[in-house]
Structure 1
């Protein structure tokens, strides 16, 4: 190794210590690993220190009161370290097992105002926002971080839906919004008082929207409240959402919630090109007029592939290029689904190796699917020796798709090992 390495090469090496969020599902865990690596780089020598620190501060993870206090004491109040705060691009607020972060999270909105000009991504997980300190109008404080374009709220508790609404509208530059498991106490007349605003565009740059709400976590009326408000917040001139992911784990076939969900789909369906849904929700696919990429999660979907085929016949877009199915094998579904559904009896849930698969082959060989470029089955298997059996099953029951070269792919995930096998049939 040469005695001297040009500083630009050192900077390039250190800059390579990064994680692509879109490529790696475990982005948060890998980000922490990168932080440790960058901290070690900063200790190598004086030449490595500046770039290492700048990269180190691109992602900050706060998990408890202690880590928050250390950040304030050693960085915010430090003349030498505070200069790195403008490097912060992503911030994680995730309460750990100590459950001590919720009060500090509100203080963050005050103590970091004006100190994070480069903040673009905010992840908030497992926080209780029902405390009344520092003030009752705390959601508006988030407007001090108007540079945020990516917001994820997961498993958070609020005092009222009013706080949720005010927090979300405080960030007009959002391009990605992910909402999952938000909870608040329901009050009488809430639907009429807080969820029927005049139609206005709260996020003119919004391109990606994810909404997930299991029934066991949130009352159906709360989901109705959220969907009705978001439908209005997307604006009267037409939404800009291109990528939509939603999962409600089984909408009722009739009633106000079903009607509200259909209204929501009609609003976003004009612009969405990339859609991920749980088929058990039975959303009207005919409303997605510009659809190009469709992903169908078959978790807890009961019946056979003939029912799936009939659902796909509702697709009206002539631009469909790709369809992906997320499913299990029979043996895997018998082990996994009862656990995920907290003991519910889902023995009839659809699985990949069901002999009705040929119904899907027939439907996908005709309009509006003649322009399909790929059909992907992502199969969660259990036994290691199932790979060839599953591929033989696909060749037998999907002959038309197999004849169209490279259109059919089967990915095999072998349980908790995370092993992926992806080969052409």
Structure 2
């Protein structure tokens, strides 16, 4: 009797394997499956590793130290890391930190050569819930040769960072998208980034969390616009503002920010408003409409207002914003879209 011969047929194309792994990686709780895939066979390993390590979140100093040891032992993993998030102590309900800060000390102990080697493939960097020095942030950004997107949230500066002080040294090139949330003195951040910046996303603070007497102080601290000039950012073409409600403080802040635009490359401006009071508050002072008449916005192609349609009638919103933003309305570039 002849032995039975089994045939596995043609091998599965690598492109199909990669596609399946990519789809699994999008599912909730995919980490366990990806680890199993990585152990299944040699053909599944590269793609599984890429999806396992493409985004790394570091939440404390001990995790950071273990991560460094791991990468030193398996240096080939560094090539798979595309996004890195550094999270310092988060806030509890009373606004206090529930974990000690570690980013400043943890990164300062690392030689630049080590950072560059470990994070050489990182394209997206996020830093949140921290207090940093400007030199440290610039060192970190300089060490990431492929960095294109920088996201910074709930960030404060060390005492040595005076908001009016001009930051010395070269600006960091390569960053094309900068997103800012709850950062005091955003001018400091902008002065760290070079002329490669193409899209700026600013999430404005919710002024309803503060009493009226504190609002002006909050906005003046937060924006730090007096010495800011957007003229050097020749590639900047998109501005995106996100805020909970269209109150006068936030709209005036946007107006003051737009005044800093010194060139005509801006093609799109987005306003994302999620709150209940999403209609602009009439003001006798200068409005966003006034600044959009400037030569710097001659090449503007779209002004988009994104609203929560469950909170406000879209027709009413179109009428009110059509009045408030009459310049883009007359040009036919104003859009009122629902929040998804």
TM-score by length of 1: 0.53
SS at match of 2:173: coil
SS at match of 1:17: helix
**1:70-219 matches, cutoff 5 A:** 88=53, 90-95=54-59, 101-113=60-72, 114-118=75-79, 119-126=81-88, 128=100, 130=102, 137-138=109-110, 140=112, 141-147=114-120, 148-156=122-130, 164=137, 166-182=139-155, 186=159, 190-191=160-161, 198-201=168-171, 203-214=172-183
CA distance in 2, matches of 1:137, 1:164: 14
Q: Could you list the runs of 5+ residues in structure 2 that have no partner in the other structure?
A: 1-7, 90-99, 206-214
1:343 corresponds in structure 2 to: none
Q: How many residue pairs are counted as aligned between the two chains?
A: 303
**1:53-68 matches, cutoff 5 A:** 53-60=45-52
Say whether the 8 Å CA contact 2:57–2:85 is kept in structure 1: yes
SS at match of 1:199: coil
Task: Spell out, residue by residue over 1:296-347, the C-alpha distance to the aligned partner (whole angstroms, 9 max, x if none).
Answer: 3354653399968965883553344322222246xx14xxxxxxxxxxxxxx
The 1:396/1:200 distance shift into structure 2, 3 A limit, reads closer
How much has 1:108 moved relative to structure 2? 1.9
Which of 272, 278, 293 matches 1:326?
272
Task: Spell out, residue by residue over 1:97-144, the C-alpha distance to the aligned partner (whole angstroms, 9 max, x if none).
Answer: xxxx53131232234123434133322224555499999723644233
- Structure possessing the higher relative contact order (Cα contacts under 8 Å, 6 or more residues apart): 2
Say whether the 8 Å CA contact 1:173–1:204 is kept in structure 2: no
Say whether the 8 Å CA contact 1:178–1:210 is kept in structure 2: yes
TM-score by length of 2: 0.63
SS at match of 1:181: strand
The 1:6/1:396 distance shift into structure 2, 3 A limit, reads farther
1:317 corresponds in structure 2 to: 263
How much has 1:378 moved relative to structure 2? 0.4
What RMSD in Å do the two structures reach over aligned CA positions?
A: 4.9
CA distance in 1, matches of 2:317, 2:306: 11
The 1:184/1:305 distance shift into structure 2, 3 A limit, reads closer
Matched, 1:386 2:331: no
Matched, 1:7 2:9: no
SS at match of 2:300: coil
Q: Could you list the runs of 5+ residues in structure 1 that have no partner in the other structure?
A: 20-29, 61-87, 96-100, 216-222, 275-291, 334-350, 414-419, 421-425
SS at match of 1:155: strand
CA distance in 1, matches of 2:55, 2:326: 49
Matched, 1:227 2:188: yes
2:209 corresponds in structure 1 to: none
The 1:11/1:399 distance shift into structure 2, 3 A limit, reads same
CA distance in 2, matches of 1:55, 1:317: 44
How much has 1:209 moved relative to structure 2? 2.9
